[in-house]
Every structure is written in structure tokens, then in C-alpha cells.
Amino acid sequence: MGFEGIGAAVRRKEDQRFLSGSGHYTDDINRHGQLYAYIRRSDRPHARIIAIDTKAAGAMPGVAAVYTGADMQADNVGGLPCGWQVKNKDGTPMAEPPHPVLAVGKVRHVGDPFAVVVAESRQAAKDAAEKIAVTWEDLPGTASIADALAPGAALVHDDVPGNLCYDWHIGDPAATDAAFAQAARVVKLDLTNNRLIPNAMEPRAAVGDYDRTTGEHTLYTTSQNPHVIRLLMGAFVLHIPESRLRVVAPDVGGGFGSKIYHYAEEAIVTWAAGKLGKPVKWTAERAESFLSDAHGRDHISSAEMALDAEGNFLALRVKTLANMGAYLSTFAPCIPTYLYATLLAGVYKTPVIYAEVKAVFTNTVPVDAYRGAGRPEATYLLERLADVIAHETGIDRVSLRQRNFIPADAFPYQTPVALQYDSGNYQATLDAALKAADWAGFRARRAAAQTKGKLRGIGISTYIEACGIAPSAVVGSLGARAGLYEVANIRVHPTGSVSVFTGAHSHGQGHETTFAQVVSDQLGVPFEQIEIVHGDTEKIPFGMGTYGSRSLAVGGSAMVKAMDKIIAKGKRIAAHLLEASVDDIEFKNGAFSVAGTDKVKTLAEISLAAYVPHNYPINELEPGLEETAFYDPKNFTFPAGCHVAEIEIDPDTGVITVVNFVAVDDVGRVINPMIVEGQVQGGVAQGIGQALLENAVYDGSAQLVTGSMMDYTMPRADDLPSISVGTETTLCTHNPLGVKGCGEVGAIGSPPAIINAVVDALSDYGVRHIDMPASPQKIWSIVRAGRSRAAA
């Protein structure tokens, strides 16, 4: 065994299980006597439910029950709650229309669930569901933000005027206006951030179980945060006390945010299992995933930067319209506000900023956090704007960025949009990325491409994000209805092996490896003797789960706090056994020693003494060696970095090939460089997907056109270049590990780097901006227009 502590590229423990097909996912769970739920979903974008006739369905063979929204209401089932309340400019709360588990009165998007059949087999449930007869009154529907805001637009919720969820702002409008009035120049850019469909490899699934003898409900679900689901579903929807509700999120095959939220199906199976006294299982088909997993992004923005004559950023003004979909998903309101507009300073020292955000209901699948969540939208806006500024002022795009960077000696740095950055060195990541990408040699590569008839472009993005979410009091003051600390319980067993019970949840991130590395490093226990337990509310203390790149920054910090307690207690036991003063005991490499002597007790010896307390300071200390710590972060963490993309265009077809991609990120201390590299590569793949391929398209009547993989383009291996990943480290100053988080940087930094490269490649064709995805058809139109202009 080599070094397996912090900084080692240890192979992922969990991969043995995942790669050999022995992972245990929700759909692998089958309970005795289990029934199957099939959900009828609306195929209409917007319609009034005049009547639902379930009689014929109920009479089908093998059917245990057919339920509608009315049945759930009659049973006092609550609506799906929203976990964040954003306030309007005038201080009034946002519109928060009810979100029934099964639609009542109206359906509001294609995919909206309105009835469920529970039967002995999936097939029987599906057969019966077809027999549910509905009388509809179709209503006009729209997927477009602009149409939903237009005067006289049909209302998604009858009691939400103008389809406006909230009209929010941040920053100083007067100071911004004043700066604009003095500007030497103003550069404007309108842009959209395309709607994405997450598509985790594992579709969502849920199994509800009910034990008549104890009255205990169990929900197995594909979730990133089982305790959050237990809290929301127990308290608001089904009114089950925590002591009677267990939520288990076993192996989960990818989440990317889409498995944070409390979904209707979780409540349906739990409730139906209780009603029927039998386990009930539901597994999404891929087509259902497209229509029911929360989507991501979907912004329309206009931005303008005020500049002085030298290209210094004086003020930024941003107006954004954000699509919420038909209902508020669990954390939807905070994404285009506190995770977006607060990031509009970026890595720049823009002194004043004013941003206005309107959130709008439309007849579409609800939109919520998707890898990056708000921060990719902010980064895309800023980094596209920076390139347009460079283009229009004639200032080199790298120099423009450098000139406006927050300098390395300016930390802690207070931005004009609420955040305080603790540390960073943007010049360092920039320099490393430019070097790795051979920015200086680009001209020659462009010329070489030209001789082959190809247009080559290079693009850069210097980004920042806020993660490690978040100080509970801060987010509470901003409208969060939850605390965002994390918890760890560390149990040192009698012979010195260790179990860690963490509130973070791994759905592909490799926590079983990185967390064990941290514990091995700090406690000196061999890596293979450390077990990481997560995902079961019956086993772990109340934790908040994994999203927003928070697991290590917040969950890891809780682990360190718990280990500190273990070490403190161990020192007292060691002092007793070694007959020394506690102050003289040192802990190093898994052993307690009396300073300056060779008197030593290993952690295993101390632990054995704690569990077999024959010779033990029993009057002062409890037996056992197990500690729990809750860690509430002091601030967000601020990973940042520089991405460089190089692309080639085939002008005859418009096809773009990404020929090189370099990411240099500052993610704070690196626990496992191999896992960081994997996380960044995965994020970049999704970012390239957004920039070039992915787009959720609704038609004019709000039908989802890209409802399957036949039309929705997920990035595949052959769409991607080999992605070079580097790190430059400044430590986070306010958490014990100095870590910042690496889960989202790839998806945040990459889209503007790609689009900047595409625009660069087309610089001779008079193009200023291209909306994502930069599809071959769009590129071909630009090339064609450019060529016909040149010919004219």
C-alpha cells in the first residue's frame, strides 16, 4: 500500500461495485408482495380537467387501486413544497401557487401527472392506465417566457397575474445609473441560456413500503439528499413524523441536481403503500424522465457594461427573465437569483452592479438546479460580454480580462452583489491555461487549418463560482427554508477500524474514496479499514445531502470537526493510560505519545480501552469512541479558473469539432487528483453539450419536441476532445481542509470558452454573437451569409 491520504490519486473504492454490475440501485430493490405504480401524465400543455373516469381502469385485471388528485386531497395530502422564498423588489413574497402531487382542476404541462394506477405488474398498471377516460377542456399554452409575459397571456395559475412568480433585484441601481452616465463607452449584449434536460444515466425510481405492525413508512428513492426528502414529504405532504418515516437513497446513478428535489412520485408510492398496506414501486421510463425530471437553465438576458476609455469595467447592468416552468420545483426560485445574480461580479472588480430578474411561469416542465445552477448562466453572460467588449474596443481579450481581474492581493474581496470572496489567484489559472493551450502558437494553427479549408478559433473563459452552500443564517435571510450545514458521525470501532456516517450523499462523486482518504490522513487509520456510510436516514444523522459542490467543503469539514473530537477524547484516554498530563499528549500518524518520550499508544489501543474500560478514567470520561459534529460553513467557497477551447469549423457543412480543451481550475486543496480530473472532465463534457448540442425545444403550443434521445442531443464520447485538466491552488481560508469544491467547475467555465472560440473562428464573417447550441445549421447560415456578403 502506498500513500493513500490527502493528495493521493487513489483508485475509487466504489468502482469495483459499479463496474462489475453489483451496484444496488433503487430499481434493484424489490419487496415481498410488491405492487407497481404507473402514472398517467398529461399529453396536453394546458387543459382544464372536466372529469376523470377511473371505473374501467379499476376493473382491469390485477389492479389494486386507481387514484386521482381528488383522492389524495380527500386524504389530506398536501402539495409539494417549495424550499426557498424569494421576495419581490417591493418586499412582498413571490407568487407560490399550489403544486398538487397529482394535478387537480388543471394540467399545466405535458408530463403533469394526474392519475396513478397501482397493480400487480407494471404491464397490468399500464394496461389499466390506458382505460382512464378524461374529459378535457384545452386551454392555450405557451413555453415561451416572452409569450407568457405578454399582456392577455393565458394564466398558468389562475391566481398568478401576468404569470409572474417574482420581480427581484440586487445591487445599487442609482450608483449603476451614475456610472453609466460617466462611461466612455457602453457595450451591450442580448443572449439566451438554452434549456437543458439533465438525463442522468439512472432514471428516477421510488419504492414505498409500509409496515403495519410498526406503522413505519420506508421510501427507497433516487435522491441526492434523503433527509431533505424525509423532511419535506413527512412534514408538508404526507404528515408522517420523522420517527415513522425512513428514507433510503441507495446507489444513485447520477443526479446533476435533478435528484435533489422532492418529486410527486416519491409521495405517491409512499402514500399508496400506506393505503394498500403493500409495497409500491415506480420506475421512470426514459420518456417520462424527459417530461418529469426538473430541467435546467432557460434564461433570456440583456446585459450592458459601462467602460472607461482604458477598458476598465465601471458598472454592469443586467436584466434576466427566467423560466420556472409550470410549478415551483423545490429550490427553483433561488437559482436565477442567489445562485446567479450574486455571481455577476465574476472574477472582475466591477465596482457597481445592478441586476433585475423576473421569474415566469410557463406550460413547461419545472426548471431547477442543474450542474452549476445559476453560475453557468452568470459565467456565460459575463464571459460572452467580455469577448464582445474586447471585439468592440479593440482591446485584446486576454488583456481586457487581466486588466479587470480582482488582484491576488485583494482578498478577502467584497463584491457589489453580496458575496465576499475569501481567496483566489485568477492570474495564476489564466497563465497556466494559456500555457497548456499554447495560446501564443494559435496563429500558426489557424493558418494551417486555413490551408485545409477549415476555420479555426480559440476561446477563453475566466470564471468563478460560489459553492459549498452555505452559511445557514445567510441563506435563511435570503429566503431558504432549510439550514445548509452538514453532519458527520465518526465511529472508531474497538479494534481501530472506522465507520463514517455522513449526511452528504454520493451519486457518482466517489465519496467512499475521498472521504476515506481524509479520515485516513487525519486519524492515521489504513484506508481500507475505513467505511463510508451514507444515504439512509435510519443510519446517518440529519444531513443535507450533496449538491452545489458542497460535500467536501461542508461535509468534509464536519468530518474533520468530529475527528478533532475523537482526537481530543483519545488524548485524555492516552494521558490516563500513559500516566501523563493531557497537555503533553501528541497525536500523529495514528498514535498518541507523550511528547519527548517513546511512550506510545495507538489509536486502536486507545479505542479498545474506550470500549473495554477496565483501566479508564471512568469518573471523567464516558466509554466509547464515537463523535458527531455538525458544521455550518462560515462562507461560500469560491472555486475559479480559466478554460480555453480550440475548435475547427468545416465551412461547407457548419460542423464544429472541438480540437482541444484546457481547464485549469483552483478548487482549493486537492484530496484526490484523479477524482478531480474526472469531475472536471464530466463537467466540461456537459458544458460542451450545452454549448454545441443540447437544447430542449418546445413548439408553439408547448409540446416538447425533443422528447427523446432521437432529437435531444446528449454529448457522446466522439463529440468530445481529450480534455486536459490542471489545477492551481489557493486554499479556502475558512474551512479546515482548505477545500473549495470541484463538482461544477467544468460545466460552469466551459460553455463560454466554446462559444467564444466559435465566434473567433467566424471573425471574418461579421458575427458578434451566437446563441447556444451552436448547431451546424446555425454556423452554416452564418458562413453562407458571410460568403454572399463578400461576393456582393
Partner 1 sequence: MYDFTYLKPSTLPEAVSLLSSDTEAKALAGGMTFIPVLKQRLARPTKLVDLAGLGLSGISVAGGKVRIAAMTTHMTVADSPDVQKAIPALAKLAGGIGDKEVRHRGTIGGSLANNDPSACYPSAVLALGATILTNKRIIAADDYFQGMFATALEPDELITAVEFPVPEKAAYMKFPNPASRYAIVGVFVAKFPTGARVAVTGAGQSGVFRHAAMEEALGKSFSPEAVGNVPTDAENLNSDIHASAEYRAHLIGVMARRAVAAAG
Residues that bind partner 1 (CB under 8 A): 123, 126-127, 130, 287, 652-653, 693, 695, 697, 705-706, 709-714, 719, 775-777, 780-781, 784
Rounded CA separation 270/150 (Å): 40
User: Reduced to 3 DSSP states, what percent helix, strand and coil does the chain have, rounded to the nearest 5?
Assistant: 35, 25, 40
User: Which is nearer to partner 1, 22 or 123 (by Cβ)?
Assistant: 123
Is residue 38 a contact partner of residue 125, using CB atoms and an 8 Å limit? Answer: yes
CB of 697 to partner 1, least distance (A): 5
Type of residue at 463: Y
CB of 26 to partner 1, least distance (A): 21
CB of 120 to partner 1, least distance (A): 15
Rounded CA separation 369/361 (Å): 16
Rounded CA separation 113/100 (Å): 9
173 prior amide bond cis, ω within 30: no
Checking DSSP bridges between strand 352-361 and strand 420-421, what pairing results, if any?
Answer: unpaired
736 prior amide bond cis, ω within 30: no
CB of 777 to partner 1, least distance (A): 5
User: Which is nearer to partner 1, 247 or 696 (by Cβ)?
Assistant: 696
CB of 655 to partner 1, least distance (A): 8
Length of the chain: 792
| Cell (9 digits) for 390 | 474586447
CB of 721 to partner 1, least distance (A): 16
Rounded CA separation 105/139 (Å): 12
Which residues, including other chains, have CB under 8 Å from residue 751's CB and lie 6 or more apart? 376, 379, 380, 461, 687, 688, 690, 691, 772
> Which of 383, 192, 194 is CA-nearest to residue 305?
383
User: Which is nearer to partner 1, 124 or 322 (by Cβ)?
Assistant: 124
CB of 691 to partner 1, least distance (A): 13
User: Which is nearer to partner 1, 198 or 336 (by Cβ)?
Assistant: 198
CB of 781 to partner 1, least distance (A): 8
User: Which is nearer to partner 1, 74 or 785 (by Cβ)?
Assistant: 785
CB of 710 to partner 1, least distance (A): 4
User: Which is nearer to partner 1, 450 or 653 (by Cβ)?
Assistant: 653
Is residue 464 a contact partner of residue 421, using CB atoms and an 8 Å limit? Answer: yes
> Which of 753, 750, 758 is CA-nearest to residue 780?
758
* E strand or H helix that includes residue 316: strand 313-325
User: Which is nearer to partner 1, 123 or 135 (by Cβ)?
Assistant: 123
Rounded CA separation 365/355 (Å): 26
* E strand or H helix that includes residue 3: none
CB of 651 to partner 1, least distance (A): 10
The sheet that has 655-666: what strands, in order across it? 455-464, 640-650, 655-666, 723-727
Residue 536 CB neighbours (<10 A): 18
User: Which is nearer to partner 1, 641 or 707 (by Cβ)?
Assistant: 707
CB of 716 to partner 1, least distance (A): 9
User: Which is nearer to partner 1, 225 or 690 (by Cβ)?
Assistant: 690
Name beta bridge partners: 359. 166, 322
C-alpha distance across the termini of the chain, in Å: 71
User: Which is nearer to partner 1, 182 or 777 (by Cβ)?
Assistant: 777
Quickly list H helices, 117-198: 122-129, 145-149, 173-181
User: Which is nearer to partner 1, 158 or 699 (by Cβ)?
Assistant: 699
Write phi, then psi, for 252 (nearest 5 degrees).
-125, 125
